[in-house]
Each structure stands twice: as C-alpha cells, then as structure tokens.
Amino acid sequence: MSTKVDHRLLLFALVLAMFTAHQVLGEDDRYPQKDVFIEKCMDTIEIVYVNPSQSYIHTVEKYDMECICRVINPTDEMKISIMKTLRLAYVCHQPIPVGRKCGSKSILYH
C-alpha cells in the first residue's frame, strides 16, 4: 500500500521550518545586548528613575529595545523596573508597540 504525499503540504512545512529556525537563531543575539543595556542603564531603570542626559539618549537609541524587552526574564525583573525600562525606551524614541511584552508585562497603551 503506497502513501500519497501532498507536495504542497511538504513545501509548507519546509517554509515554516525555515522561518521558525531563523527567528530562533536571531534571538540569541539579543541576550548580550540585553546584559549590556541593563549594566549601562542601571541608574535609570533601577528603583529611582533618573532622567537620562542627551548623550545617554543617543547611546540607548542604538539598542533594539523591542528585542531587549522580549528577552527580559524574571531574574532581570528582580533587578530592574519594567515600567522604568518602558519609560526609558519611550524617552529614547524607541517606544515598545502596544500589544507587545516587556518581560512579564504586556503593553496596553503609551
């Protein structure tokens, strides 16, 4: 008894696997960037918010804040304030889009 193979289904599965692998591989690049961001921005995103200087804003503008927010884990959240991180992203012209997550928090409005 032979099994019929639908080539469209195989093509769909192959394309899906390629895009999924690419997305997963891209995530690894953000962990070092997240660690550097937390280290450099600790004064601003800790308990007491400190307004960033203009040179500081230019530095943070180079980060991909949406990706950094996506990879913040519960251990990071014990050290930093998600709300202050979101505020810093907004001040640095990189607001996190509504509907996305930053750590364990969902962004509902700006």
Task: Determine, yes or no, domain membership for 5.
Answer: no
What angle do helix axes 30-45 and 7-27 make, rounded to 10 degrees? Answer: 40
Residue 38 domain-assigned? yes
pLDDT at 28: 52
pTM over 0.75: no
> Could you list the residue range(s) of the whole structural domain that residue 97 is in?
29-106
Per-residue confidence in pLDDT tens, the chain, 110 aa: 455 667 676 666 666 666 554 444 445 556 788 888 888 888 778 767 778 888 788 888 888 999 999 999 999 998 888 989 999 999 998 999 998 989 988 887 65
For the residues of 4-51, what is the DSSP string, one character each? P--HHHHHHHHHHHHHHHHHHHHHTTHHHHHHHHHHHHHHHHSSS--P
Helix 82-91 to helix 30-45 angle (10° resolution) is 100
36 domain-assigned? yes
Using alpha carbons, select from 48, 52, 70 the residue that is nearest to residue 61.
52
Distance CA 39, CA 43 (A): 9
Q: Domain for residue 1, yes or no?
A: no
Q: Is residue 42 part of a domain?
A: yes
Q: Residue 18 in contact with residue 53, Cβ under 8 Å?
A: no
Q: What's the structural domain count of the chain?
A: 1
Q: Does 16 map to a domain?
A: no
Give the helix/strand (H/E) hosting 101.
Answer: strand 101-102
Inside any domain, residue 53: yes
